[in-house]
Every structure is written in C-alpha cells, then in structure tokens.
Amino acid sequence: MSRPPKLALPLRDGVGASVLACPAGRWASLLDYLVERLPRLSRAEWCDRFAQGLVLDERGQVLPIDAPYRPATRIYYWRQLEREPEVPFEAQILFQDELLLVADKPHFLPVLPSGRFVQQTLLTRLRRATGLADLSPIHRIDRETAGLVVFSLQPATRGAYQALFRERAVHKVYEAVAGLPEPLGLSLPLTRRSRLQERSEAFMQMEEVAGEPNAETQVELLQRHPSLPLARYRLSPSTGQKHQLRAHMNALGLPLLGDRIYPSLLPPEPIEAPDYSQPLQLLARSLAFRDPISGAQREFESQRQLLAF
C-alpha cells in the first residue's frame, strides 16, 4: 500500500506543521517514541500536545494519547515553546506581489524557527501577519544580521528563485562597521579570496585554511568615524559561505563591531535577560537580480541604518 502524500495543513498562530517519519521499531506507543525521539519536550509536555489535538496521523486525524506506535507512517505536530524570549523589534515589508515578498529584518530576529525560537522568527511573524501559509525564504541571513530577506509566495516558482542564489546570479551588498584599516597597513578597496571551513574545535566559527578559494568578498571603505577609531565598509560577496563576511573581515584584522563569534566565541546570552544594546554591525543593504519568471530587473534596498556616524 502506497503512503499518502504529505498533507498541506493550516498554520497555527503562524507556525506550519512539522512532519516526522516513524521508522521500524518496538515502541509500545507513539508517545514513547516521541519522548525518545524529541527529548527537548518532556513526557508531560507531549501529553499536553496530544490533549490539545496537536498531533495528527498521516491522514490528518487527531491522535489520542494512547495511540499505538505504527512504523512506516508519518505524523504531524505543531511546535510551540513554553519559554521563548521576545524579540522587541519589528520587520517591515518593503515589497510584495504575487511571486515575492521582501522583508527588512531587524537585528536579533531569526529568519526560521530553530532551537529556542518559533514564534519570535521572521517567517512566523510574516505568516501570521499575511496569512500566507506557503511563504518561504529563498535565502537566509544570520539572526544577528539586519536587512533584506526575500520570500517566495508560490511553491511552483520557488526553485527558480533559489537557483539565482545558488548560481550566484544575485548582486548582494552589505554594510558593516569595524576598526580602521590604516594601522593594519591595508590598502582599500581590496578583494579577499580564501578557503573557508568550519573549525573543528569551535563549530560556530569559520576559519581560513589552505586550498582552492571558495569564498570571495570585495571590501571598500565608505566613511571614517569623525572621532572614534571606526569606519563604515561596503562588503560585496560573490559567494555565500557561512559567516563569510564576518570571517573575512576578522581575517583582515577588522572584526565587526558587536560580533560575539569573531575573533573570540563568547558564551550565549541568557534567555531570561538578552542584551539588545550592542547589535552586530552588519546590514544586508541591497539585492539586485533578473527575475527568472517575469524577466524584470528586481532591485531592493534596506531602510535600516547601522551605528550613526
């Protein structure tokens, strides 16, 4: 018997349903499997999910708390967190048509639900505000970075837009604030080319290693601060490696102001009292590309500002 197709379930408070495959196993009940497979939730919390009707079978039927475990099936459930830090900054929608939505993201707001953030994410907030269940980002920026994020509205055309980023057909410009180049003997503008890979001893950090370059960034000086040893930079990446801009600027001796990962990995901030006073000084300023569906030239620019000079 063939497995039913994946369900298109409604959003619940802006959150889409997660799907989980049930492999072969000897769990007595579905509850036992979920407690072992997803231990971030306690047994009591999973019991509460069942009681609220938030666990469904692969046909969309609400499952009872004593449902037996059935291998080779799917289940659906909705994520929600009891203690989720509120991010007190709002995104703005800069553009929307039948194909795309462009948002201007604040610092500290994750793009996608992950870890300790579900409601306090750009995707969930936008889905809740627009009611668009098929809304999905076609690229990402870090939680700490502010600026432009482009979303697809239609699953049928999403792949064409994702291909633009994958094939480096999008012109991306960032702005950043860091120290002055003169004490380091840097002559700007310059192009930094290197091979970046994740550090084995500090998985959050990327480092430059020997080998064929896989990351390229053009670095230009825009403005010196009138009284502080700081400057504003334009960063134009032609590739999209993890933490590329932060790692390249750090390698040049110019770690970004407010960076908690480079040059030193600082401990995560407490959930109960996050510090929003020193945002990472990195902004996804502009995006430009030829629309693969309409053929029109698309150009977008963030309205946000970094540290005022």
C-alpha Rg value of the chain to the nearest Å: 22
**In a domain? residue 13:** no
Task: Tell me the angle at which helices 30-37 and 43-51 cross, rounded to the nearest 10 degrees.
Answer: 130
Which tens digit of pLDDT belongs to each residue from 21-61? 999 998 999 999 999 998 888 899 899 989 999 999 999 99
**Rounded to two decimals, what is the model's pTM?**
0.83
> H/E/C letters for each residue in 193-206?
EEEEEECCCCCCCE
The pLDDT confidence band at residue 236, using thresholds 50, 70 and 90, is very high
Is residue 144 located within the same domain as residue 253?
yes
- Arithmetic mean of pLDDT, 220-237: 97
Our count of domains for the chain comes to 2
pLDDT reading at 298 higher than 90:
yes
CA angle 85, 87, 90 (to 5 degrees): 155
For residue 3, what pLDDT is reported? 67
**In a domain? residue 207:** yes
Sign of the torsion angle spanned by Cα atoms 167, 170, 176, 181: positive
Is residue 245 located within the same domain as residue 106?
yes
**In a domain? residue 1:** no
| CATH value at residue 65 | 3.10.290
pLDDT reading at 237 higher than 80:
yes
- Arithmetic mean of pLDDT, 106-131: 90
- What residues contact residue 29 under an 8 Å CB cut-off, 6+ apart? 66, 67, 68, 69
What is the phi-psi region of residue 53: left when phi exceeds 0, alpha when psi lies from -120 to 50, beta otherwise?
Answer: left
| CATH value at residue 163 | 3.30.2350.10
* Mean pLDDT score across all residues of the chain: 92
Task: Spell out the alpha helix ranges (H) of the chain.
Answer: 30-37, 43-51, 122-130, 155-166, 244-251
For residue 37, what pLDDT is reported? 92
Which tens digit of pLDDT belongs to each residue from 170-199? 999 999 999 999 989 999 999 999 999 998
Quote the tokens at residue 161. 């837009």
pLDDT reading at 15 higher than 90:
no
**In a domain? residue 8:** no
Element (H, E) at 262: none
For residue 2, what pLDDT is reported? 60
* Domain extent for 109: 92-267+275-301
Is residue 50 located within the same domain as residue 188?
no
Is residue 57 located within the same domain as residue 142?
no
Q: Which amino acid is at 161?
A: Y
Which tens digit of pLDDT belongs to each residue from 53-81? 999 999 999 999 999 999 999 999 987 76
**In a domain? residue 97:** yes
Is residue 169 located within the same domain as residue 27?
no
Is residue 174 located within the same domain as residue 136?
yes
- The Cα 158–Cα 127 span in angstroms is 16
pLDDT reading at 308 higher than 90:
no
Q: Which of 30, 53, 77 is the last residue of a domain?
A: 77
Is residue 40 located within the same domain as residue 158?
no
**In a domain? residue 12:** no
The pLDDT confidence band at residue 82, using thresholds 50, 70 and 90, is low
Sign of the torsion angle spanned by Cα atoms 248, 113, 34, 26: negative
